[in-house]
A and B are shown apart, each in its own frame.
Chain A
Amino acid sequence: METILSLEGVSKMYQSAGNTLTVLDHISFSVDAGSTLAIVGPSGSGKTTLLGLCAGLDRSSSGSIYLHNIRLDELSEDRRAQVRNLYVGFIFQNFQLLPTLTALENVMVPLELRGEKNIRLRAVDLLNKVGLADRGHHYPAQLSGGEQQRVSLARAFSNKPQILFADEPTGNLDAETSEKIVKLIFDLNKEAGTTLILVTHDHELASKTGRIIRLKGGKMVSDEQTIAAQVE
């Protein structure tokens, strides 16, 4: 199976008040296209930092990261932005919708950035899939948390990403809404054949993925297949 993401000896350090703080320490793993993976670990273990590096949101201090065969750590920020626009989708804990854009416009933005034409129908179709066809003209502030996350999902899938990164996608939602959102993520993921990498504290959610990587103090302490992997 084709490798969509691979990390080799990735470390991330920050300078703070003259001290070097190592947030990630020599992380190496690779992810097959179409698979699902959860990164788990206690607070401060480096999960979100790792996600940021994998998605090209930040540069590693050492080591190399390849996404879709493109070495991210050698690209400028603008080039990484292009890579994100072409291959990556995002779902955030706090939804991160643009507050001044309507739901429909939020979904359209990644496609517009690509310079694609006739995108409105596709965006409406995606909103339809997440059950928000009639809320397209509402602003984020006029939507509930669950609805905002569904818009965020539609946006994440709008550019047909090769890989989807989700940072605590249900962290801000109640149990019932969380369940619906998780189902939606996995259904859409399956339908689109996208690779899914999610960061979570939620063991139940993690166990729905095919593989779990555990981090502790910036180090990878385990990398195991789950039962769900057998289904995949």
Chain B
Amino acid sequence: MEESFENNRTIENKGLQFPWLIKMAWRDSRRNRSRLFLFVSSVILGIAALVAIYSLSNNLRQEIDKQAASLIGADLEITSNKPVSPALKGLIDSLGDRRSEERRFASMVYFPKGGGTRLIQVRALQGEFPYYGDLETNPVVVARTFRNEQQALVDQTLMMQFNATVGDSIKVGNVTFRIAGILISAPGQTGFSASVAPVVYIPLKFLKQTGLEQKGSNIGYRFYYKYDRPINIRQLTAGIEPRLEKEGLNYDTVESQKEDTARSFSDVTRFLSLVGFIALLLGCIGVASAIHIYVREKINSIAVLRCLGAKASQSFLIYLIQIVGIGLVGSVIGAALGSVIQQFLPVVLKDFLPIKIANNISWTAIGTGVLLGLIISILFALLPLVSIRNVSPLNTLRLSLQSTNLFKDPIKWLVYLLIVLFIFIFSSFQLKNWKQSVSFTIGVIVAFLILAGIASLLMWLVRRFFPSSWSYLWRQGLANLYRPNNQTSILIVSIGLGTAFICILFFIQTILLNRVTLSAGGNQPNIVLFDIQTSQKQDLLELAQKQGLPLNQTVPIVNMRLEAVNNITASTLQKDSSIKIQRWIFGREYRVTFRDTLSSSEKITKGKWIGKAGNPSEPVYVSLEERFANRNQIEVGDSMIFNVQGTVMPVVVGSLRQVDWNRVQTNFLVLFPTGVLEDAPQFHVLMTRVSSAAVSARFQQAVVKQFPNVSIIDLSLVLSILDQILSKIGFVIRFMAGFSIITGLVVLIASVVISKYQRMQESVLLRTLGANRRQILAITALEYFFLGAFAAFTGILLALAAGWGLAHYTFDTTFTPQLLPILVVFILICLLTVIIGLMNSRVVLIKSPLEILRQEV
């Protein structure tokens, strides 16, 4: 018998009939298009966020390539924080066809016209630097001419702050300069760096006269080189690197500057992309839950098609084609929206960027976005779509008794695997760190499983402890949680994951912002004087006392470099990547103090604090800040070798300390006992508190006049600048997190709106049986309230766990979530779920039951 069928096969088997499938997909979508669009609306925002960020990072990369030379301003730059030794002088003077020299240091300046003083960065320049790009000045010509006379270029914010005009004078140390022009920007300078430390350029030949170049001053030495003939800079720097490194000098080339800038911005774009990815993941949840319910409603149509002779693959493909179509439309809209948003991102980020970015449309970003949107729509829709293959034609006669078991469908497992792979691959792509990607992927899976588990537990609990004595409305609302066609699992997972993502972003934002918040209130010092020479200390203290200022703290500071930890040096570190010490600990300068007691902001957590050094033959025990020690796996008892301006100083780690960095006072990574550093070259810091701006100005003027080399930080000014910076960073974070939050809300709305089709018929039947408006609303509100409350509660718990983990392991800080915002999120999610749920039932209430039953045919 089978054979006769086989004989006819050539006539019968028409293949998949692709054109017909497309036609059917189109026909079937006609009455569902708005709903299908709702499915992908959540993808749109995720794609928009990613396309915007990708476009920005593409444009950034292009501009960095284009403008790298002007970031550094020369072919080669050599920097040092001490005067160049005679041994190196020959080399320094022999490089380049043209060369310029610069000294940089912080100093106070004084505006004689208005009497204002302020801490600025002095740049004493000689030569034609910059060779690439410009010192942007007004008038333009002074960028070149100021260096010939006793003239200065003054940063525009400084000019505005002191109401100065070109032609006025400015006093730097002992020398008064004529302001030749306004400095608008210098190579590689960002908006923020200018506001924190505004720059004043003076000709180098006047530096000595200013009297600011004293022993112990923190002066940076820079040498800029330009080659007029073609030269292999890489080869050149490779040749001189060992000599430079030996003397503690660094160098920078156009190429290395390009890499550094690209690297620092890849951090920014990585964070932003991750936020975009979370938005996209939320979108994925939206797609999966929406298609799940869509497919459930289509079971009857699929059964009819199967009855009429459609193959399982044909019915599956009809709906897959719909998803591809609508996914493509959604992705294109998302990419277009992303390209529009990208026009604004450079404006938002402009203060962070050292270069100007063009708002070019990035076709690569658009292409990636569209492709990604398409992949996501298909992948996350596949999970519910594959069950179409198992829809029996018998459903036309009655609902199939034998439902397909998930565990028996290997294709479903394959789809799950693909989804996990996708999350892992994409997060690796964003995070560029496979370990973090594994944690992220596991985190998402665990969150998913916990939510699914909570949903099952809720259904079990309600059924097990069903409150039979409660009123009908409560019973009906509760029973809806576990009865057939319930939406408990799908809504709890989607709303819960949405809530978790939103809260995690909120927590990260709080952690990031809290990290940099200073407590400036109370009687804390608000003026810091530094670079005080030992010889000036006493006179300065007297001056402060004369002005009636309290002396909160005077601290000696010694500059030193770290040469080795347990005999590991920078060069052994370079050769052996398995050593868990961060490389920067050898490159930097340590500002170290010495005292015999701990300050109020310090607490010993390990070892013992020894405040006084013993015999010269005994080891010197120092105390390290505990997080610095932990990050570099330095333990109590480990040995370290410091280089104190030429003198080698071996020490032993005696204790680890916890330091409250948020306190306004001098805090240190490394603390020496007394009896060791007293004779080392040092300067002093003095902290005091002034009661008003007028007292502050008077004191500052007196200090600048008497001690021109002493720098003053006015903390209230710093705090206001910091506040501006933080509000801008906060804005950037909120701007990007906004995408995820809005996507989360769209997913929430989509999930609940789609679920209305599940309850519609039931509500109509209740109406038909005589339920009034209030009763229908109460039943619906109760069901959605339970769903919203459980989902939001679980989501918040997950977010708290993730927030704690992130704070503890990633941001290395304490996690103190604020209860009020969490409560607000909880109430908002519950309210939103209930409101959208109630809006869904509106249709049932305003139309006649018959009308709806007819529509539902």
Contacts and interface: CB of A to CB of B under 8 A. Distances in A.
Interface of A: 14, 16, 48, 51-52, 57-58, 66, 69-71, 74-75, 77-79, 81-86, 90, 92, 96-101, 105, 109-110, 112-115, 139-141, 148, 155, 159, 167
A101 B2 contact: no
Contact of A99 (B5, B29, B301): B301
Interface of B: 1-2, 4-5, 8, 12-14, 17, 20, 23-24, 27-32, 300-301, 303-314, 392-394, 396-398, 401-402, 854-857
Contacts of B300: 96
A48 B393 CA distance: 13
Given A96-B300, A96-B304, A101 B398 contact: no
Chain B interface mostly: helix
A71 B1 CA distance: 6
A154 to B, nearest CB: 13
Question: Counting chain A CB atoms within 10 Å of each CB, which of B28, B398, B857 scores highest?
Answer: B857
Nearest to A78: B311
Given A83-B5, A98-B301, A51 B397 contact: yes
B827 to A, nearest CB: 40
B17 A115 contact: yes
A100 B307 contact: no
Nearest first, the 4 A-B pairs at minimum CB distance are A85-B309, A115-B14, A71-B1, A57-B393
Given A69-B4, A109-B305, A140-B857, A57 B28 contact: no
Contacts of B856: 141
A110 B308 contact: yes
Given A101-B28, A140-B857, A52 B309 contact: no
B525 to A, nearest CB: 74
Given A81-B310, A82-B13, A141-B857, A100 B30 contact: yes
B393 to A, nearest CB: 5
Contacts of A14: 401-402
Question: Counting chain A CB atoms within 10 Å of each CB, which of B313, B393, B402 scores highest?
Answer: B393
B396 A90 contact: yes
Nearest to A83: B5
A74 B306 contact: no
Contacts of A101: 27-28
Contacts of A98: 28, 301, 304-305
Given A96-B307, A100-B27, A57 B13 contact: no
Nearest to B400: A58
A115 B310 CA distance: 11
A74 B1 CA distance: 10
25 contacts: A16-B401, A57-B394, A57-B396, A57-B397, A70-B4, A77-B392, A78-B311, A78-B313, A79-B5, A81-B310, A82-B12, A84-B307, A85-B308, A85-B309, A90-B308, A96-B396, A97-B857, A98-B305, A99-B301, A100-B29, A112-B23, A113-B309, A115-B20, A140-B857, A141-B855
Contacts of B17: 112-113, 115
A148 B854 CA distance: 12
B4 A81 contact: no
Contacts of A109: 24, 305, 308
Contacts of B313: 78
Nearest to B855: A141
Given A77-B312, A81-B309, A141-B855, A92 B397 contact: yes
Given A90-B307, A99-B31, 17 more contacts: A57-B392, A58-B392, A71-B1, A77-B392, A82-B13, A85-B310, A86-B8, A86-B12, A96-B304, A97-B857, A99-B857, A100-B32, A113-B314, A115-B14, A115-B17, A141-B855, A167-B397
Contacts of B8: 86
A52 B397 contact: yes
B228 to A, nearest CB: 75
A83 B12 CA distance: 9
A203 to B, nearest CB: 21
A145 to B, nearest CB: 9
Question: Counting chain B CB atoms within 10 Å of each CB, which of A48, A75, A78, A159 scores highest?
Answer: A78
A70 B308 contact: no
A3 to B, nearest CB: 12
Contact of A86 (B305, B309, B311): B309
Contacts of B2: 70-71, 74-75
Given A77-B312, A78-B312, A100-B30, A69 B1 contact: yes
A110 B308 CA distance: 6
A155 B12 CA distance: 19
Given A57-B393, A167-B397, A139 B31 contact: yes
A155 B304 CA distance: 12
Nearest to B20: A112
Contacts of A155: 308
Contacts of B31: 99-100, 139
